[in-house]
Amino acid sequence: MWQALREELHPQGVELVTVGLDTLGADGCRAFIEAAKPSHPSLIDRHHVVADLFGVVNIPSSVWIDEAGMIVRPAEAAPAPPRATPAPPRALPDEMPQRLKDMMVEAAKIPNHAEAYHAALRDWVEKGADSEFAMDAATVVARSRPRNADTARGHAHFELATGLEMEGRHDLAILHFREAHRLVPDSWTFRRQAWSLETFGDGPLARFWQGPLPGNEADWPYAGDWLGDIKAEGAEHYNEGWKP
Amino acid sequence: MLLKSLNVPVKEFEAGTGWQIKPEGACKGDVCIPLPEQGGTDLDIRQVAEAMNLPLVEEPQAGLYALGPESIGGKALATAVAPEMTLPDLDGNPFELSSLQGQKIIVYAWAPY
């Protein structure tokens, strides 16, 4: 859907740059990118540099940059374009494991401000700096994520973990992912990345399980898991929603 | 950025952190931080980390370090000037975000999990 939007807006001087956050690199992202057949730059970010550079804590997120290279909106939740006709509700297959059903129920509660976000995006594409949704430099900095010395240190532990994972030092990587989670508690991407590397089996959903197998809870190396954390924090707080 | 050594060529530091080394110090957009005089062509990362208040963490069992990002003014962004970002595409070809200057850019982060 972003690809179609890009094709529509590209003649107006807009480029979309997608960044796949995955320590597994091309191996993790390839199937999704090849299915989307992007005509825009489609990049792979094994160490989550977009977290360091822009303050991305969740996906999907976007950052808007103007023609002069100035950020005009910092990292924020970026829902898919609204559908012209709502997708019909689909029944979950009976054979789907209960955990995945529960995750889909929670995911459906995550705030989605697609109408407001995409109206703002089109306004900015049309009006540029005159758009009420393009922020001045001081507002961009002020609206970027909070970061102190501890959270910055958590980012360093996260990057160390991704480097260790790529060197095949998974057990060491876990120790640094844990430090990253402790120091940057508001980053869902730091947690989801680590959880996605604890896979059970090879199925297409293996990386979405993001938690312990029933009966094997003691083997789960992290304090939280997707379903437990989203229930504890409330799906309505999964992202900050969208505000002008 | 990940490091195997604490002496790093300037270009690697710049590519890894988004900070540019200039006569006035380390600069990102309109923000510059003075650095202690550097002797050779490489940067002494311990000195640079201290001067810029960048976290430096180590995993001694793997001989690997990571230098974390700045935290200036308590915010993720020190400046609204977009940093350089170089990342590979699916085929491993590096792409520089700055190559799109002159267009509006939407950087869109996603994940396959």
The pLDDT tens digits of the residues spanning B76-112 come to: 999 999 999 999 999 999 999 999 999 999 999 999 9
SS3 A57: coil
Pure H helices in A24-97: 26-36, 49-54
Is there a domain that residue A48 lies in?
A: yes
Q: What are phi and psi of B43, to 5 degrees?
A: -95, 140
Calpha distance A67→A92 (Å, rounded): 45
**Interface check B4 vs A, CB under 8 A:** no
Which residue of B lies nearest to A16 if distances are taken between CA atoms? B106
Distance (Å, whole) CA A171 – CA A151:
23
**Is residue A8 domain-resident?**
yes
Query: What pLDDT sits at residue A94?
Result: 80
Contact B56, B68 (CB under 8 A): yes
A153 with A231, same domain? Answer: yes
For residue A84, the domain's CATH number is 3.40.30
Amino acid A135: pLDDT: 98
Q: How confident is the model at residue A96 (pLDDT cuts 50, 70, 90)?
A: confident
Closest of B85, B80, B82, B113 to residue A59, by C-alpha: B113
Q: Which of A80, A62, A55 is nearest to A15 (CA)?
A: A62
A22 contact residues in B (CB cutoff 8 A): 111-113
Is residue A191 in some structural domain? yes
Question: Would you say A74 and A63 are in contact if contact means Cβ atoms under 8 Å apart?
Answer: yes
In this predicted model, which residue has the larger pLDDT, A125 or A112? A125
Please check whether residue A106 lies inside any domain of the structure.
Answer: no
Residues 6+ apart with CB under 8 A from A193: A21, A22, A23, A48, A158, A162, A177, B111, B113
Write down which residue in A122, A143, A164 finishes a domain: A143
Q: Domain for residue B113, yes or no? A: no
Same domain, A14 and A134: yes
ipTM above 0.90, yes or no: yes
- A116 and A17: one domain? yes
Q: Are B14 and B22 in contact (CB under 8 A)?
A: no
- Cβ separation A53–B79 shorter than 8 A: no
CB contact under 8 A, A28 and B113: yes
Q: Is A176:A221 a contact under the CB 8 Å cutoff? A: no
Number of domains present in the structure of chain A: 2
Residue B56 lies in a domain: yes
- The pLDDT, as a whole number, for residue A13 is 97
Q: Is A107 on the interface with B (CB under 8 A)?
A: no
A116 lies in the same domain as A211: no
Could you tell me the pTM of the whole model?
0.95
DSSP per position, chain B: -EESSSEEEHHHHHHHHSPEEETTEEEETTEEE--PPP-SSEEEHHHHHHHHT--EEEETTTTEEEE----GGGBS-S-SBPPP-EEEBTTS-EEEGGGGTTSEEEEEEE---
Share of chain B above pLDDT 70, in %: 100
Instruction: List chain B residues with CB under 8 Å of A15.
Output: 100, 103-106
Domain extent for A37: 2-90+112-143
| Residue type at A178 in one-letter notation | R
The reply to whether A122 and A205 lie within a common domain is no
Terminal-residue alpha carbon distance, chain B: 23
Distance from the B70 Cα atom to the nearest Cα atom in chain A, whole angstroms = 7
Scan for tokens 């200039």, then name that residue: B22
On whether both A181 and A120 belong to a single domain, the answer is: no
| Residue B50 maps to a domain | yes
List residues bridging with A146 in a β-sheet.
B75
Number of structural domains chain B divides into = 1
The parent domain of residue B67 ranges over 2-71
Query: Residues with Cβ < 8 Å from A27, sequence gap 6 or more?
Result: none
In a domain, A76, yes or no: yes
Q: What proportion of chain B, given as a percentage, has pLDDT over 90? A: 95
Closest residue of chain A to B100, computed from CA coordinates: A15
| A10 assigned to some structural domain | yes
Q: Residue A42 and residue B55: Cβ atoms within 8 Å?
A: no
Q: Of A199-203, B14-18, B47-51, which gets the smallest average pLDDT?
A: A199-203
Q: Does a structural domain hold residue A159?
A: yes
Interface contacts (A, B; CB < 8 Å): 238
Residue of B nearest to A169 (CA): B62
Q: Does B100 touch chain A (CB under 8 A)?
A: yes
Mean pLDDT of A91-101: 85
- Does A156 share its domain with A74? no
- Tell me: the pLDDT tens digits for A16-68? 999 999 999 999 999 999 999 999 999 999 999 999 999 999 999 999 999 99
Residue A43 lies in a domain: yes
Considering chain A, what percentage of its residues have pLDDT values greater than 90? 84
Cα distance between residue B111 and residue A19, in whole Å: 8
Report the candidate in B73, B24, B82, B79 with the shortest Cα–Cα distance to residue B53: B73
User: Do B74 and A147 count as a contact with CB atoms less than 8 A apart?
Assistant: yes
- Vertex A9 angle, CA A5 and A13, to 5°: 145
Average pLDDT, chain A: 94
What tens digit of pLDDT does each residue of A173-217 get? 999 999 999 999 999 999 999 999 998 777 777 899 999 988 889
Same domain for A71 and A174, yes or no, is no
Q: Which residues 218-237 on chain A approach chain B with CB closer than 8 angstroms?
A: none
Indicate whether A89 pLDDT > 80.
no
In a domain, B42, yes or no: yes
> A117 and A32, same structural domain?
yes
CA–CA dist B1, B14 (Å, integer): 10
CA distance B86 to B108: 15
Better-predicted residue by pLDDT, A83 or A138: A138
CA distance B15 to A166: 20
Regarding whether A126 and A159 lie in a shared domain, the answer is no
- Residues B27-54 have a mean pLDDT of 93
Q: Find, in chain A, the residue whose alpha carbon is nearest to that of B81.
A: A70
Q: What is the rounded distance in angstroms from the CA atom of residue B29 to the CA atom of residue B19?
A: 9
Which of the residues A16, A140, A141, A195 would you substitute to probe the B interface, choosing the one with the greatest number of B C-beta atoms within 10 Å?
A141
**Interchain contact, B103 vs A13, CB within 8 Å:** yes
A135 and A36 both lie in a single domain: yes
Which member of B77, B82, B108 has the closest CB to residue A18?
Answer: B108
- Size (chain B), residues: 113
Residue B79 covered by a domain? no
